[in-house]
Amino acid sequence: MNQLYGAIDLGSNSIKMKIVQYVDSSFKCLENITKEVDIGEAVFTKGYLKHDKVEEIISVLEYFKQVMETYEVERYRAVATSAMRFTENSQNIMELILMKTGFKVEILEDTVEKFITYKSIRDNVPGFQEIRQGSLLVELNTGSCDVSMYLKNRLVMNEEFFLGTKILKNLMKQIEAMNVNYLPVVGEFIEARTNHIFRMIKNKKIHHYLVVGGEVKPMKDLLFGGSDEILRRDFEKVYQRITTDHREIRHLVEEKGVDWYELVSTVLLYHTFFKLVKTDVMVPVNVNLRDGIIAGLIEEDYQLNRYQLFNQDTIFLATSIAKRYKTNLPHVKWIQKNALIIFGEMKQHYPFDERDEVILQLSALLHEIGKFTRMKDYMNTSFSKIKNLSVLGITEEEMKLVAYVCLMMISPKDFKKNENAVMVREDQINRIFKLGAILSLADALDKSKRQKITLTRVTLSDGDLKLTAQAQEDVTLEYWDYEQKRRFFINTYGIHPRLEFV
């Protein structure tokens, strides 16, 4: 079994590598290297990287490769984040890196980056389960800001804003040229871009305020004496100094080689959300993408369940979104439950993608959100909403797949004729049909939305899928719809569903 693991993070300000040894359920850090390479400045102002900067990146990665070879690290993952997401020539750069270093670097979408990063909370934040009972986590990086809320050990909100430190820095310089008192103006801009979620935060019992980001360490070291807990009164004093007469504090920051604009952007944004929570303590959290990557690799190799709670955050968030759209939660959760039972038996006999179980659950939970704005033809409305959703841990491509699975429920035989389905890739059609057939069957078993049928067992044998169920009420409506949907299932899988009551 592997013991050595590596992670490379190609970020906006630096390229970082971590190598750890995992023995007896504990981690030992062997290397934690950071090389400063300012990628984000060029990307967020010009939109692309010049060749000399690409060569600098490759030089660092060649050094990292030598270090990994010295340790004989075989299990690793190399990723790039926001700067590469916004670089026009990102694919060319990735190809050059692969050719010259052998590293296949993945460009992570923001939702996936945050999902991996937050997984490292499990190993780096003491008392994480108690914190998840009621907490607000605000992460600010160069390209974006992410706001997450945990209640009763579940992720109930996750919002991304195009408000990274590089973006705010450029804005700040523009406003500074117009108004010497520019910092309150930038604070107003931040509030204007984020205030639609303020009420949701204010109405909840938030006992912990956690902040994450590249400027967290310089902020706490330079402005708060390296404290691991920042009291509200101390933060307010610093905030007032920064927004009134900041000459002295700016000199201190720049003397240490820290970018003033990026640091003050961090203070302004964290202050915006500190005002919304009732706790008087801000906690800078030491979590990072590299730790999350390594956690994921170890989880795969050792089949661990230590990260199960964080893996469920995607489903918790989808449930919260469904609730926000006034969805009939008992109904969609019943469909989710029945669909998983059917899927559990089907995957023993048919090939599925490793992500299909998550896609199926999201489809069950979200397929009716269109009813909130349009009852007539609501499934097409649901499709439009779902494909534009941002859900932690789910890529844009996967969200489109969820939307197509839900669209399939309208009319499988007319799916390809639907104007919303014209862009679906041909290689995804079979996958959509297979998941759509399971979801349609599960939906038929709760046609009345009264949870009359309890599916107790599903077995596949000799071309028949036996659905064993219990019912205490008349299920004529469910049986009628089931007869319609089973034809779709037969045409997709070539097997016959048989519904039997006991």
Please check the confidence at residue 274 and state whether its pLDDT lies above 70.
yes
DSSP type of residue 412 = G
Task: Report the predicted TM-score, pTM, of the whole model to 2 decimal places.
Answer: 0.88
| Own/partner pairs, 334-339, CB within 8 angstroms, 24+ separation | 334/446, 334/451, 335/364, 335/367, 335/439, 335/442, 335/443, 335/445, 335/446, 336/361, 336/364, 336/365, 336/442, 337/455, 338/441, 338/442, 338/445, 338/446, 338/455, 339/364, 339/438, 339/439, 339/441, 339/442
| pLDDT band, residue 375 (cuts 50/70/90) | low
Of the candidate ranges 16-25, 214-223, 270-279, 303-312, the one whose mean pLDDT is the lowest? 303-312
Please check the confidence at residue 19 and state whether its pLDDT lies above 70.
yes
Please check the confidence at residue 361 and state whether its pLDDT lies above 90.
yes
Residue 46 has a pLDDT of 77
Contact 206, 147 (CB under 8 A): no
Q: What angle do CA 355, 360, 362 make, to 5 degrees?
A: 100
Pick from 35, 44, 40: nearest CA to 14 = 35
Q: What digits encode the pLDDT tens for the residues 419-459?
A: 676 677 878 889 999 999 999 999 999 999 999 999 999 99
Average pLDDT of the chain to the nearest whole number: 91
- In this prediction, residues 399-414 reach a mean pLDDT of 84
Percent of the chain with pLDDT over 90: 69
Residue 222 has a pLDDT of 92
- In this prediction, residues 309-332 reach a mean pLDDT of 94
- In this prediction, residues 210-235 reach a mean pLDDT of 93
Residue 1 has a pLDDT of 66
DSSP-derived secondary structure for 420-452:
GGTT--GGGHHHHHHHHHHHHHHHHTTTTSS--
Please check the confidence at residue 304 and state whether its pLDDT lies above 90.
no
Residue 398 has a pLDDT of 94
Give the bridge partners for 135, in sequence order.
150, 208
Task: Name the amino acid, one letter, at 481.
Answer: D
Residue 15: helix, strand or coil by DSSP? strand
Residue 89 has a pLDDT of 85
Greatest CA span in the chain, whole angstroms?
80
Domains with residue ranges and CATH for the chain: 4-109 (3.30.420.40), 126-286 (3.30.420.150), 312-501 (1.10.3210.10)
Residue 143 has a pLDDT of 83
- Tokens found for residue 14: 């630096």
Residue 310 has a pLDDT of 87
Q: What angle do CA 224, 229, 235 make, to 5 degrees?
A: 50
Give the C-alpha separation, 352 to 435, whole Å.
Answer: 9
Select the highest-mean-pLDDT range: 22-26, 253-257, 338-342. 338-342
- In this prediction, residues 312-329 reach a mean pLDDT of 94
Give the C-alpha separation, 23 to 302, whole Å.
Answer: 11
Task: Name the amino acid, one letter, at 88.
Answer: E
Between 43 and 479, the more confident residue is 479
Of the candidate ranges 58-67, 112-121, 465-474, the one whose mean pLDDT is the lowest? 112-121
Torsion over CA of 334, 335, 337 and 341, rounded to 10 degrees?
A: 140
| pLDDT band, residue 47 (cuts 50/70/90) | confident
Residue 374 has a pLDDT of 66
Please check the confidence at residue 235 and state whether its pLDDT lies above 70.
yes
Please check the confidence at residue 125 and state whether its pLDDT lies above 90.
no
- Distances 199 to 9, 269, 281 between C-alpha atoms, Å: 35, 17, 20
Residue 247 has a pLDDT of 85
